[in-house]
Structure 1
Amino acid sequence: MINCIIVDDEPLAATLLENHISKIDHLKLTGKAGNALEAYKLLQNQPVDLMFLDIQMPHFNGIDFLKSLSQKPKTVFTTAYRDFAIEGFELEAVDYLLKPITFERFFRSVERVLRHVNPPKEDFILFKTEGMYRKISLADIAYIESQGNDIKVTLSTTENFISKSKITDLESTLASKGFIRIHRSFIINTEFVTAFNNNEVHLGDYKVPVGRSYKIEFDTFITIISKRSINK
């Protein structure tokens, strides 16, 4: 069971999140706060595993509030603004949800939280291809391309194969494993990136386009690459 709180000054937005939470057995809502000061009291008085945190709030915004905490619970930002995405991920937020938040998008975010809490012991995935299930290490996947109701999986060895699956079904599974969807038809393994600009990403000899509607995902990718460069 994951104890969670909602921090949001908009009653309708908070109620929607509360309804979403009530539909998931693994989540237990232990409190709601309308501002950062109320949220701080909740964090001091009870164990909180997960915080759904709005950004634009009076007096003290969500970004500054999270920065001020010495012990940070896992945090999912909930906001109507895209502008804070990079800063949110730099604070190691689990996810960044844009309002109005659908249950489908909320559920994918909770799946990501659960993977952070209970990470799998082996990093592999099963693909159905040619009547068999093929076990592929995630570290060997360069990118995945949508082809209608199928996907093409391209490996680091330049081998590729077709699998009966949809790219949307894989997106949430791969999100915490170094993969990012930067186009409606492409998910890439950031480990293989050798160059990029605002229009495309290079993975060795492969070139993958950047979709205009995947701005947040692309900003996240830039943040990850920048962190690696700094750490090295």
Structure 2
Amino acid sequence: MINCLIVDDEPLAAILLENHISKIDHLKLTGKAENAMAAYALLQNQTIDLMFLDINMPYLNGIDFLKSLPRKPKTIFTTAYRDFAIEGFELEAIDYLLKPITFERFFKAVGRVMRNTSDSEEEFMIFRTEGMNRKISISDIVYFESQGNDVKIVLKTAESFTSKNKITDLESLLALRGFLRVHRSFIINTEFVTAFNTEEVHLGAYQIPVGRSYKHEFGTFITTLSKNRLL
């Protein structure tokens, strides 16, 4: 049984999460809190395995609250804002869910916790292509490119294929797995970045444009990269 805590100041959002939790036998809702201080008190007095944490809250936002915890439970961010995905990734959150949260997306996120996946175990995704379900290691994917109702997946072997996926769905699913959307048509694996400027990013031989509306988030990533890797 996985003991869960919901931390969200929006009553309707908290109710939706509570309903999602009630549908999964292995999840038990242990407590709810409307702000970081109330959540902190619950964490001191109860065993919490998984925390669903909103970001935009009064007094102390979810990012700063999680940073302040000496012992962090497994955390899934739940927010209406995509701008904090990079910081969530740095805090090793399980996932980053954008509101309104569907049960399908919720189930995918908690599935990682229920499988008790270790850090050394390789993660993979299943893509439907040419009538077959194809298992692909996430670490092998260089970038995704939107092509109408399909998405092109390019691998580090230079092999590529297309699948019936929406790039927006992939964005939220991969935000905490080292991927970053840099253009309305492109999501990149940041592990393959070899060069960049304000207009484009290079992934080895591949040159990907940086869209105008994604420049701020890309700039945040570059700043983080520079700090962590002394570029």
After TM superposition, the score normalised by the length of structure 2 is 0.72
Please state if 1:21 is matched with 2:56: no
What is the root-mean-square deviation in Å for CA atoms of aligned residues? 3.8
Letter in 2 for 1:166: N
Shift of 1:97: 3.8
SS in 2 for 1:191: helix
Instruction: State how many pairs are aligned.
Output: 229
Please state if 1:44 is matched with 2:44: yes
Please state if 1:62 is matched with 2:72: no
Shift of 1:45: 2.2
After TM superposition, the structure 1 = structure 2 runs for residues 8-157 of structure 1, keeping only pairs within 5 Å, are 8-81=8-81, 84-111=84-111, 113=113, 117-119=116-118, 121-123=121-123, 138-157=138-157
Q: 1:89 touches 1:220 (CA, 8 Å); kept in 2?
A: no
Does the C-alpha gap of structure 1 residues 54 and 135 become closer, same or farther in structure 2, counting only changes over 3 Å? closer
Letter in 1 for 2:75: T
Does the C-alpha gap of structure 1 residues 195 and 71 become closer, same or farther in structure 2, counting only changes over 3 Å? same
Letter in 1 for 2:210: V
CA distance in 1, matches of 2:156, 2:8: 44
CA distance in 2, matches of 1:2, 1:216: 37
Q: 1:88 touches 1:96 (CA, 8 Å); kept in 2?
A: yes
Report the counterpart of residue 206 of structure 1 in structure 2.
Answer: 206
Shift of 1:33: 1.5
Unaligned regions of 5+ residues in structure 1, if any? none
SS in 2 for 1:70: coil
Shift of 1:111: 4.4
SS in 1 for 2:5: strand
Q: 1:145 touches 1:151 (CA, 8 Å); kept in 2?
A: yes
* Bigger shift: residues 28-37 or 161-170: 161-170
How many percent identity over aligned positions? 72
CA distance in 2, matches of 1:182, 1:19: 34
Shift of 1:171: 5.4
Shift of 1:193: 0.8
Unaligned regions of 5+ residues in structure 2, if any? none
